Amino acid sequence: MLALTLLIFMSACSSVISKHVEWETIEPENYPVLSAVGYAPINAQLGLNDSSKRIQAMKASKLDAYRELAEQVYGQKVDAEQSLADLVLTNNQLKSTVEGVIRGAKVLKTYPIGDDTYATELELDMAVVYDLYLSTAKPRRVKDVSYY
């Protein structure tokens, strides 16, 4: 009798229904195109001559434009701290950071502004980002479930 009861309880816990799940990818309705401009001073760059300073400014302006794109995509983290002593503000600190990975950005143009500044314009088409994402992550959702 005990063996029969144990057999009934064990069979109740097992699944006798098999299923097949069919998945489909999710595609956004629209893809925005983001743009960013980065700036860098030429004369403030470290270099032995004007052409090396100009090249460094070109690189710095490109990095600044990437930072701006990362800020648009991921947001900006702001940390603030204030201290009071006898109801008088004694310390006021503000720190901002941007962190993220930007893939698929395209440099539109790099050009000097006046004699001392370089600018770089970037563009990030989110359709390209989505295609890059699909190639690595393969997002999906349940399309259909068949029980048999």
What is the per-residue pLDDT across 75-102, written as a single tens digit (0 to 9) for each?
999 999 999 888 888 889 999 999 999 9
Give 134 or 106, the one with higher predicted confidence: 106
Is the model's pLDDT at 31 over the cut of 80? yes
DSSP output for 20-38 = EEEEE----S---EEEEEE
Is the model's pLDDT at 16 over the cut of 60? no
* pLDDT digits 0-9 by tens, 32-65: 999 999 999 999 999 899 999 999 999 999 999 9
User: Of 71, 114, 79, 75, which is closest to residue 96 (Cα–Cα)?
Assistant: 79
Is the model's pLDDT at 6 over the cut of 70? no
Is the model's pLDDT at 5 over the cut of 80? no
Is the model's pLDDT at 13 over the cut of 60? no
